[in-house]
Structure 1
């Protein structure tokens, strides 16, 4: 009798285990803002809308762009930690206010091109992931770029030094310190406020990627563009660990693989957009993804490149490490261990 009862219990467990693994997981997803342009529209949103079909995982995905949720980008890590949303397309520069370790991915001058940016992202994302898991109950699924952030001005410029005395829109403290170091006046502004601020003279210049600027119409209210890559504007996908742990180990491998492919696709598409939008903004051809404008394209000089490169050791790293080490004692030491050699530390 006892043997029969035990066999029945074990049999019930075996039968119920697969059912538990196949229970539908509801993913409440916050994406990039609609205003950021083509990566959100053409790559990110279609990925989430077809994620269940492509992976075969038991998912129910509810995707909402950030600017339709009422949530501010600076709140994204708090939203993830609280469980209000399960997965967020993190705007890393903005959320670095809550976790300064993140900004080590994208210090001003660290990544002058896509190749170096990908190396930095692949190496340092492991450090960021460990920190997010520890403090925000969040797993980092991947890191990708909007692309090199360049300078748009409604004031004639011929080099980086010409921003002296000009008001320049910035989006994080690291960039603000660098702009200040070359004589500019940093003005923190959200992306959605920049077009009007340029038009009204609240700022003279602003920094963003060529494609985002094109999508938002910045060339309508500017005259010059200096294509010097200040930062890569890295972003990432974070998932709440409680949600992640609802999946079996095999399902986690499948889901991570889907995000690995997405991240690779965005790196490729971002570079294509950067090249094309760079042509569109100055009226060159081909211009396939944006609106053609007639900005003056300023030639990047060797002295501009040197000024930016030297800025890592002289401005952006010291500025960031002082802040980061206050909340994470190993912050700058971990960064130097992973990336220091590449910039001459």
Structure 2
């Protein structure tokens, strides 16, 4: 055998070995789990976070078979303002964020189009409207925040709790009312009241001390936050549904294999469907708990007075959508997203 033949054969063997090693290394690298950090709802926000969201994400990797390692942290535990959800997504600090719709709408008012005051008087209306608007919002988040929307869900009907006795919306004139977003602030302003933005954790003490007279939230959240200890009445008139959602950093999404993308989307859709049902269950139970009725299975019993909802008050909320909520929001939203109002009218608006 010539030395030349031996040399060529040796080179070929070395080349093949290097190629095999590289391929093996690439396969090993691809098989490494992708690290996913999830920023969740506040730990003190209620039973949806405790009983649905946190267990879902903590068990997601094992139950779905996805090639990921996952860490879940509630937003208040992380020490991050819940208003920064979209910024966190864009920065990649967390890969998945449980978006608090009313709060992040300050950064992206398009989000508020899901849940203007007067738009979603029931769970059924909410399902229809959020489905109609989903792809529009998803495209906006992808282009502006490098985030893909995975699903949306309601915390539940937002109703009014008051320390003074009231009989209806007309009695709110001149009062200070804690609000969760700009749409509810605009609504109470139309009633002659003053909207006061305030973190959820500060509301109970503010009601007790008279800093605010009334406050808006869902019955289950109010129950978990002890609001009935500082109030006398609840007006169970749904102003909004407090629509939240899940979104993933788009760069992270693109790192997932097509199979894992499908598994994640399917899993989140299952969680979202579960929360829609659970939210209604919580609302019904919490209204009974807050007013001393039975059965009260999930909350703490109180004895608030439930104010009967009148046809006049229902009409006031319904009219607020076209007379106040939509025009004010559209002006603000169009300023940052020129297609905002047109897209809303072509989707949700077309079905009204």
Question: What TM-score comes out, normalization by structure 2 length?
Answer: 0.93
1:159-200 per-residue CA deviation (whole Å, 9 max, x = no partner) reads: 111111111100111110110101211111111110010000
| Change in 2 beyond 3 A, CA 1:86/1:297 | same
Choose the corresponding residue for 2:200, options 191, 195, 214.
191
Query: Which residue of structure 2 lines up, in the alignment, with residue 54 of structure 1?
Result: 63
Q: How does 1:6-17 map to 2 (within 5 A)?
A: none
> Hey, what does 1:228 align to over in structure 2?
237
Query: Once the 2 structures are TM-superposed, how far is the Cα of residue 17 of structure 1 from its aligned partner?
Result: 6.5
- Does 2:309 match 1:300? yes
Runs of at least 4 residues off by over 3 Å: 1-21
Distance across 2 between alignment mates of 1:321 and 1:254: 36
Query: Which whole-Å CA distance do the structure 2 matches of 1:14 and 1:265 have between them?
Result: 43
2:133 is matched with 124
What is the distance in 1 between the residues matched to 2:340 and 2:331? Answer: 9
1:266-277 matches, within 5 Å, as: 266-277=275-286
Structure-2 separation of matches of 1:302 and 1:16: 69
- For residue 79 of structure 2, give the secondary structure of its aligned residue in structure 1: coil
Partner of residue 182, structure 2:
173
Corresponding residue number in structure 2 for 1:239: 248
- How far is 1:23 from its partner? 2.3
Q: Are 2:133 and 1:137 aligned?
A: no
Residue equivalent to 1:24 = 33
Residue 279 (structure 1) aligned to one of 280, 285, 288: 288
Kindly indicate whether the alpha-carbon contact (under 8 Å) linking 1:224 and 1:298 is maintained by their aligned counterparts in 2: yes
Whole-angstrom distance in 2 between the partners of 1:5 and 1:140: 48
Q: Which of 89, 97, 119 is residue 88 of structure 1 equivalent to?
A: 97
- Whole-angstrom distance in 1 between the partners of 2:58 and 2:196: 37
For the aligned residues, what is the CA RMSD? 1.8
TM-aligned CA deviation for residue 18 of structure 1? 5.4
The two structures have a TM-score, normalised by structure 1, of 0.95
In structure 1, C-alpha distance between the alignment counterparts of 2:187 and 2:80, rounded to whole Å = 29
Query: Could you say which structure has the larger radius of gyration?
Result: 2
State the 1:100 CA deviation.
Answer: 0.7
Aligned-partner Cα distance in 2 for 1:168–1:10: 69
Rounded Cα–Cα distance in structure 2 between residues aligned with 1:239 and 1:124: 18
1:272-322 Cα offsets, whole Å, 9 max, x none, are: 000000100000000000001000000111111111011100010001000
Alignment of 1:140-155 (within 5 A): 140-155=149-164
1:217 lines up with 2:255 in the alignment: no
Structure 2 spans left out of the alignment, 5+ residues: 1-9
Cα offsets for 1:7-55 (capped at 9, x unmatched):
8888778766654543211111110001111000000000011001111
The CA distance in 2 between the partners of 1:278 and 1:153, in whole Å, is: 15
Count, aligned residues:
343
Question: Do residues 207 (structure 1) and 216 (structure 2) align?
Answer: yes
Q: Contact 1:21 / 1:247 at 8 angstroms: preserved in 2?
A: no
Of the structure 1 ranges 103-112 and 156-165, higher mean CA displacement relative to structure 2 is found in 156-165
Question: Aligned partners of 2:62, 2:20: CA distance in 1, in Å?
Answer: 31
**For 2:320, which of 299, 303, 311 is the aligned residue?**
311
